[in-house]
Chains A and B, each alone.
Chain A
């Protein structure tokens, strides 16, 4: 399957700070999604973004498919942004997940 690497593995932020999470993948993809797993374990879909740029409130994402990476931007972070952020990719029916970035936002 496609190899997915996420960085950094851990991120500690002060409330109000901005941050960038990165996802590198080893092959061309036609499906790339970002998820947030909250401290209660729920997985929420943030973006479906195999290419281009999207924004949703304080979150935005950019995927450069030709260079095989995607970036997730968190602006003006809040404590509710804490959790694990996963990138997942596919070029068939099998979505492969990275190991995630654990984000802790301190008040």
Chain B
């Protein structure tokens, strides 16, 4: 198993540009989520999905869209990038949200918006 795969690893955008961060998992996990990590603030939940066709907002959803058309993929879209979205983005998945379902993380995407 490759686990959780994120692409790209690094990205530089100009203000106003759009892009999609890709996330795929091959573990047949129901639950997938996106976090951003900023210095000194831990990880904050952007959006999550409990299964194909179902998504919901986390703590900091503004400026981001998601969709979940398949169990494997959970892309994160930035519609109009802003400097405040400079961050490291992590995708994570778990088998369910129930008991004994540890969260597995991808290796992250470092995004810089100038």
Chain A interface residues toward B at CB < 8 A: 1, 4, 30-31, 33, 35, 41-45, 48, 50, 86, 88, 90, 93-100
Contact = CB atoms under 8 A, between A and B. Distances in A.
B100 A48 contact: yes
B26 interface: no
B97 interface: yes
A93 B50 contact: yes
Contacts of B40: 99
Contacts, number: 55
Interface stretch (B67-75, B77-85, B101-109): B101-109
Identify the interface centre among B35, B50, B56, B105: most chain A CB within 10 Å of its CB. Answer: B105
B88 interface: yes
Chain A interface, >50% SS class: strand
A93 B103 contact: no
A86 B107 contact: no
A21 B45 CA distance: 23
B5 to A, nearest CB: 13
B104 A41 contact: no
Interface string B90-114: 1010000101111111011000000
A1 B59 contact: yes
Contacts of B44: 97
A94 B104 contact: no
A31 B102 CA distance: 9
A33 B105 CA distance: 13
A96 B105 contact: no
Contact of B42 (A48, A90, A98): A98
Nearest to B45: A94
A94 B41 contact: no
Contacts of B101: 48
Contact of A45 (B41, B45, B103, B108): B103
B102 A99 contact: no
Nearest to A84: B42
B27 interface: no
